[in-house]
Amino acid sequence: MRRPTLEAVAARAGVSRATASRVVNGSEAVHAQIRDAVLRAVDELGYVPNSAARSLVTRRTDSIGLVVSEPPAAEDPLFSVLVRAVSRELEHAGKQVVLMLASSPAAYARIERYVAGGHVDGVILVSTHGADPLPAALARTQLPVVSYGRPVATVSLPYCDSDNVGGARAAARHLLDRGRRRVAAIAGPPDMPAGRDRLAGYRDVLSAADRRSLVAMGDFTRESGAAAMRQLLLDGPDLDAVFAATDLMAIGALHTLRRMGRRVPGDVAVVGFDDIEEARYTDPPLTSVRTPVAAVAKAIVERLLGQARFAEPTVLPADLIVRESS
Amino acid sequence: MRRPTLEAVAARAGVSRATASRVVNGSEAVHAQIRDAVLRAVDELGYVPNSAARSLVTRRTDSIGLVVSEPPAAEDPLFSVLVRAVSRELEHAGKQVVLMLASSPAAYARIERYVAGGHVDGVILVSTHGADPLPAALARTQLPVVSYGRPVATVSLPYCDSDNVGGARAAARHLLDRGRRRVAAIAGPPDMPAGRDRLAGYRDVLSAADRRSLVAMGDFTRESGAAAMRQLLLDGPDLDAVFAATDLMAIGALHTLRRMGRRVPGDVAVVGFDDIEEARYTDPPLTSVRTPVAAVAKAIVERLLGQARFAEPTVLPADLIVRESS
DNA sequence: GCCATCTCAGAGAGCGCTCTCACAGAAGGC
DNA sequence: GCCTTCTGTGAGAGCGCTCTCTGAGATGGC
């Protein structure tokens, strides 16, 4: 009851294994008549190539590792979008997605071993933490690696990202343009490049406009956004706008503002970042900077499969979507 | 610059390939002294077993396919939780997760071929559509398959699920207990077992209480929930409660109710299903039935690795979490 | 002291495939 | 008509590993 081998196909079609292999792999140098016979045999036997045997000799696996550091939020709205987008792109290229979550130091070692062990032809790295040892470890591998998001400065990896600085600038400028005078920010963890860049964009604009900045830290979750908002109201009771580095934190901020009896946008304008779907359903709907996740994923796959290891990073624009919260 | 083979390790340690293999695979029947020599050689050479060669002979791949039908919402809050939970459980068992999204008929064929081709040792199937050909196709394979969620009636697959009927009953009963007299429902697509079961639970309770049911259809998205709510308000302007088959649809319903000037819970009580994180941040916070995704994922992995192919389904309780929307 | 039993290492087959090389036969040039 | 070139096929090596089988040497029973 074992699966048919190429040998069996060849025997049935009355050809050699080599010819059968040629047909299965789409070589054109085979007579049409023979090709048809082989294909018929394949069909009749239900032959499917054994991938282990194939990759043993070709040294390719036709699969790409998607390595994701464990983010703080269990329900990460963009995780789903990212995974789908990457998966769809890789599927077009005939690659499989092997998902690896880097949730613990033990997992780091396992992943490094797995990747070094030639299980995958390349790696897409979604690393959020600054202290993450994976980027460096994977960079040591001879395999192509592309990072989703700018990696921390200590390692040099090709990457694709959305324009976090530009998006944050647009958000801050928008709030000033709306006449807000005291614009606070809820920043992400300082060891994450995305968080840092978004904060930097906010600071750029405020200092250029000669305004003091007012910042509280969060960890990208709703809950941390709510807590940061409480802190901001203590530190700057006169604030009339908040820019949050993620929509989730903005949503936490909205929650706090509501509890504290502040009207949005009447008393306080709120702008988030990422433009997740949920932003359209908050009360009021949330102004946000759109992160083009799918487009970034596409760029990553293109770069990865194009093997352009040391090319320029691709940075895609992040546009402001104005809704009622500002 | 090729990776070291077991042969090289054996040569360096001064033993045969067979002995080196024994050590690498943790066989106990090797002298401690020899074992140490081999391990030292492994370390010095940075040896990592070639998985293709290994699985060619063992006929195992140590990876499990996670096959997910494309859901309607790009940002599926539970997708992230599910993937993480499954991944964590499989990791403990030393298995890799190969993610396959069934987004098109072409993808179905590809996945079936991939699975039949022996790339994975088993499959976890997350199929939402009733018309999905995958359950049947995968059931034909000789591989172990476990479904997340009850599959459609036409195929018989082992599965684990949360108690959708029970959860929906609890939600409907809760609304009646709160004194609501006209309880409507926003149902999921009728070809999805989860949607059907949740509607059935609602109907059970209403007919037992001798109340008329009032149902509108959605497709599990926020937007469809908003539209369904508009429909319900047209069909039953006197309604004073709504049970939505998912939190996302409940959130859409809240949106519509707000636009229509109905107070929640004053005029209309709302209960959702799944208890996603977002439910804690709506205005008012949403009463919901908790879907124990992580626990179901755990049960699935246990069953899959336990090889119990035709055992009873595991159905885990779904508890009502009461918040301010009801 | 001899044979049976046990422990542990090595030899070698073989998993299913790809790919190089050899070679048969057809086609073309002089 | 012979040699060269080209096309299409087969033979066979070998990818790196596991695992069975063999056998050497130690141990024990009588």
3-state secondary structure chain B: CCCCCHHHHHHHHCCCHHHHHHHHCCCCCCCHHHHHHHHHHHHHHCCCCCHHHHHHHHCCCCEEEEEEECCCCCCCHHHHHHHHHHHHHHHHCCCEEEEEEECCHHHHHHHHHHHHCCCCCEEEEECCCCCCCHHHHHHHCCCCEEEECCCCCCCCCCEEEECHHHHHHHHHHHHHHCCCCCEEEEECCCCCHHHHHHHHHHHHHHHHCCCCCEEEECCCCHHHHHHHHHHHHHHCCCCCEEEECCHHHHHHHHHHHHHCCCCCCCCCEEEEEECCHHHHCCCCCCEEEECCHHHHHHHHHHHHHHCCCCCCCEEECCCEECCCCC
| Cβ within 8 Å, pair A52-B48 | no
CA contacts within 13 A on the Cβ side of A146: 27
- Round to whole Å and give the CA distance between A182 and B300: 52
Sheet with B269-274, strands from edge to edge, namely: B214-217, B183-187, B241-244, B269-274, B287-290, B320-321
User: Does at least one atom of strand C sit less than 7 Å from the CB of A60?
Assistant: no
Do residues B128 and B190 touch, judged by C-beta distance below 8 A?
Answer: no
- Looking across all nucleic acid strands, the nucleotide with the smallest C1' to CA distance from residue B19 is C9
- Test A99 with B52 for CB contact under 8 angstroms: no
Distance, in Å, from the CA atom of B69 to the CA atom of A141, rounded to the nearest integer, reads 33
Q: How far is the CA of A31 from the C1' of D1 (A)?
A: 30
Pick from B76, B81, B116: CB nearest A48: B116
- For chain A, what is the total number of helices (H) and then of strands (E)? 12, 12
- At residue B286's C-alpha, the angle toward residues B79 and B74, to 5°, is 25
Q: At what angle do helices A32-45 and A17-24 cross, to 10 degrees?
A: 90
b (16+ CB within 10 A) / e for A114-127: bbbbbbbbbbbbbb
Contacts of B75 in chain A (CB under 8 A): 77-78, 80-81, 276-278
Q: Do B48 and A258 touch (CB under 8 A)?
A: no
pLDDT attached to residue B29: 77
Q: Do B97 and A96 touch (CB under 8 A)?
A: no
> A75 and B80: CB-CB below 8 Å?
yes
Q: Which helix (H) or strand (E) holds A63?
A: strand A63-69
Ordered per-residue pLDDT tens for chain A, 326 residues:
678 999 999 999 999 999 999 999 987 778 888 899 999 999 999 999 999 999 999 999 999 999 998 765 678 889 989 999 999 999 888 899 999 988 877 888 888 888 887 889 999 999 777 777 888 888 888 789 999 998 887 778 889 999 999 999 999 999 999 999 999 999 999 888 999 999 999 999 999 999 999 999 999 999 999 999 999 999 999 999 999 999 999 999 999 999 999 999 999 999 999 999 999 999 999 999 999 999 999 999 999 988 655 568 899 999 999 999 99
Q: What are phi and psi of A184, to 5 degrees?
A: -95, 170
Kind of pairing between the strands at A241-244 and A269-274: parallel
At residue A71's C-alpha, the angle toward residues A69 and A72, to 5°, is 150
Query: Residue B89 forms beta bridges with which residues?
Result: none
Bases on strand C under 7 Å from any protein CB: 7-12, 14-20
Q: Say what the pTM is.
A: 0.91
> B30: which nucleotide lies closest, measuring CA to C1'?
C8
Close Cβ partners of B184 (under 8 Å, ≥ 6 residues apart): B213, B214, B215, B216, B232, B236, B239, B241, B242, B243
A54 CB-to-strand C distance under 7 Å: yes
Angle ∠(A110,B110,A7) on CA atoms, nearest 5: 90
pLDDT of A132 reads 77
pLDDT at A307: 60
**Inter-chain contact A52–B116, Cβ cutoff 8 Å?**
no
**A1, A52, A114 member nearest B52 (Cβ):** A52
Q: Give the Cα separation of B192 and B151 in Å (integer).
A: 8
Distance from CA of B209 to the nearest CA of A (A): 34
Q: Are the CB atoms for A171 and A273 separated by under 8 Å?
A: yes
Length of chain B, in residues: 326
| Nearest-by-Cβ selection for A101 from B50, B87, B119 | B87
Give B121→chain A minimum CA distance, Å: 13
Which chain B residues contact residue A281 at CB under 8 A? Answer: 222, 251-252, 254-255
Tokens 């018989």 locate to B156
Closest nucleotide (C1' vs CA) to B118 is: C16
> In this complex, which of A1, A3, A77 lies closest to B77 when CB atoms are compared?
A77
Instruction: Tell me the mean pLDDT per 10 residues along chain B, length 326.
Output: 86 91 85 89 92 92 89 80 91 89 82 85 85 80 88 82 97 97 95 93 97 96 97 97 97 97 96 97 96 94 77 91 97
Which nucleotide is the nearest neighbour of B54, by CA and C1'?
Answer: D17
Nearest CA in chain B to A70: B84
Distance CA B111, CA A251 (A): 38
